[in-house]
Amino acid sequence: MSSARQEWKVGLFVLLGLTLLGILMVQFSKSWTGFKPTYELKLKAFNVGGLKPQSSVLMAGIVVGQVLSTDLSPDGKSVMIRVRIFKRYGIHRDARILIEQSGFLGDQFVSIDPQENQGSLLKDGEEITCQEPFNLQEAARSAIGLIHRLDGTVQTINATVERVDRLLLSENTLTNAQHTLDNLQAVSTQAKLTLTDLDELIRSNRAGIVVTVTNLAQFSERLNQSGAEVQTLLANNRSNITSLIAHTESASSQVDGLFKDLQAGRGLAGSLLKNEPLDGEFKQLVNQLTLLSSNLNKFGLFYKPKPVRTNTAVFLYPGKDPRR
C-alpha cells in the first residue's frame, strides 16, 4: 500500500516536472506568442540573405513580432516574407522596413524604423516592400573589383611618372631648364637696370618733360583752333573755292588742248617743233643771241674789234730781218 502510494507520488512529481519543463521550453521558444492577439504582414524583398523563420521582428529595438516563413513569389523574381506582429504595435505606411544583422556574424532579423508616422496603419494581410540585407560577399566582390581598378590606376600613374622622369627630368632637360632660368634671371636683371635708368632719366628731366608735354598740349590746342579756323574759312568761301576749282579745271583743259596743238604742229610753237628748217634757224638765232649776250657781258656795249693786219713783206734772202 505504501509502495503504491509512493509510486503514485513519484509519477505525479515526474508529471509536474515535465509540465513545468514544457512550459519553460514554450516560454523561451522564439515561436511562443502566448495568447497575445497578432496580425500578419507580407514583406516583399529581392533577397532575404540569412533570414530564417522564427527570427525576431524589432521596432526601435523592441521585439514586436516574429518571422513565420520565407518563400519565393509566384513570378520567381522576389521573395515573400510572412511576419506576425503583435496587435498592440501599430505600423504606419511610411515606416522603413529592412533586414539587418546582429553584429558582424549574428543572426539576421527584420527591423522596422518608424519615420514621420504619416498615413494609416497597416492592416492584416497587407503587402509592403522590404529592403534587402547588406550582402557581405557582394561588397567583397565590389571591393575586389575596386582594388583591381585601383591597381590598374596605380600602374598607369607609375608608368606616367617613369615617362615624366625619363623625358622631363633627364639630365639634358634639367641642364636646359637651368640655362633657361639663368637667361631669365639675366634678362630680369637687365630689365631692372633698364627700368632704373629710365626712371632716373625721367626724374632728372622732369622739368623738360613737363615743358614738352605742356608745349604739346598747347600745340594740340592751336591745331584744334587752326582746324576750326580752316573749317570756318572753307564754310565762308565755299562758293569761291568751287569757282576756283572750276577755273582750274578749265585752265587744265586749255593747257591740255595747247599741248595737243603743239604735238599736232598747229600754231607758231607747233610749227617751230614740227618744221625742221625753221627749227634750225631758231636754234642758230638762239646761239647768236647767246654769243651776243656773252660779248656784251665781257667787253661792254661800245666794244669794237681791232682789224687784223696782214704781213705783205717778202723776204728775198734768208737771214736776219733788216727792220729788226
Lowest mean pLDDT, pick from 168-177, 260-269, 305-314: 305-314
The residue type at 173? T
Q: What share of the chain is helix, strand, coil (3-state, %, to 5)?
A: 55, 15, 30
Lowest mean pLDDT, pick from 57-61, 65-69, 307-311, 315-319: 315-319
Q: In the prediction, which pLDDT does 274 show?
A: 62
Is there a single domain that holds both residue 130 and residue 142?
A: no
> What's the rounded mean pLDDT across residues 246-254?
81
Q: In the prediction, which pLDDT does 138 show?
A: 62
pLDDT score of 140 more than 60 = yes
Which H or E run contains 65? strand 62-72
Per-residue pLDDT band for 317 (boundaries 50, 70, 90) equals: very low
Per-residue pLDDT band for 301 (boundaries 50, 70, 90) equals: low
Tell me whether residue 10 is in a domain: no
Is there a single domain that holds both residue 46 and residue 129?
A: yes
Is there a single domain that holds both residue 48 and residue 128?
A: yes
Q: In the prediction, which pLDDT does 315 show?
A: 47
Is there a single domain that holds both residue 101 and residue 82?
A: yes
Tell me whether residue 154 is in a domain: yes
Q: In the prediction, which pLDDT does 31 show?
A: 47
Lowest mean pLDDT, pick from 56-70, 212-226, 263-277: 263-277
Domains in the chain, number:
3
pLDDT digits (tens, 9 = 90+) for 91-137: 888 888 888 887 666 678 888 888 888 778 888 888 888 887 766 66
Q: What percent of the chain has pLDDT over 90?
A: 0
Is there a single domain that holds both residue 140 and residue 105?
A: no
Q: Which cell numbers in the block locate residue 56?
A: 525576431
More confident residue, 102 or 70: 70
Last residue of a domain, one of 147, 169, 191: 169
Tell me whether residue 244 is in a domain: yes
Q: What percent of the chain has pLDDT over 70?
A: 77
Tell me whether residue 103 is in a domain: yes
Is there a single domain that holds both residue 39 and residue 127?
A: yes
Tell me whether residue 43 is in a domain: yes
Furthest C-alpha separation in the chain:
234
Tell me whether residue 291 is in a domain: no
pLDDT score of 270 more than 80 = no
Tell me whether residue 130 is in a domain: yes
Task: Encode burial over 129-161: b for 16+ CB neighbours within 10 A, e otherwise.
Answer: ebbebeeeeeeeeeeeeeeeeeeeeeeeeeeee
Q: Which cell numbers in the block locate residue 19?
A: 509540465
Is there a single domain that holds both residue 59 and residue 85?
A: yes
Is there a single domain that holds both residue 154 and residue 116?
A: no
Among candidate residues 47, 122, 49, the one with its CA nearest the CA of residue 84 = 122
Q: How far is residue 69's CA from residue 80's CA, in Å, rounded to a whole number?
A: 8
Is there a single domain that holds both residue 76 and residue 104?
A: yes
Secondary structure of residue 318 in the 3-state scheme: coil
Is there a single domain that holds both residue 47 and residue 100?
A: yes
Distance of CA 26 to the CA centre of its chain: 76
Cβ partners under 8 Å of residue 15, min gap 6: none
Is there a single domain that holds both residue 89 and residue 50?
A: yes
Residues 110, 59: contact at Cβ < 8 Å? no
Q: In the prediction, which pLDDT does 256 show?
A: 78
Q: In the prediction, which pLDDT does 46 show?
A: 84
More confident residue, 262 or 188: 188
pLDDT digits (tens, 9 = 90+) for 148-206: 788 888 888 888 888 777 776 677 777 888 888 888 888 888 888 888 888 888 888 88
More confident residue, 301 or 47: 47
Tell me whether residue 215 is in a domain: no
> What mean pLDDT value characterizes the chain?
78
pLDDT digits (tens, 9 = 90+) for 17-56: 888 887 776 555 544 455 678 898 888 888 887 788 888 8
Look up the domain containing 250 and give its range: 237-276
Sign of the Cα torsion 99, 102, 107, 111 reads negative
Q: In the prediction, which pLDDT does 214 show?
A: 87
Is there a single domain that holds both residue 56 and residue 141?
A: no
Q: In the prediction, which pLDDT does 303 show?
A: 60
The CA-atom distances, in angstroms, between 136 and each of 4, 52, 77, 100 are 64, 17, 21, 12
Sign of the Cα torsion 279, 284, 285, 286 reads positive
pLDDT digits (tens, 9 = 90+) for 20-31: 887 776 555 544
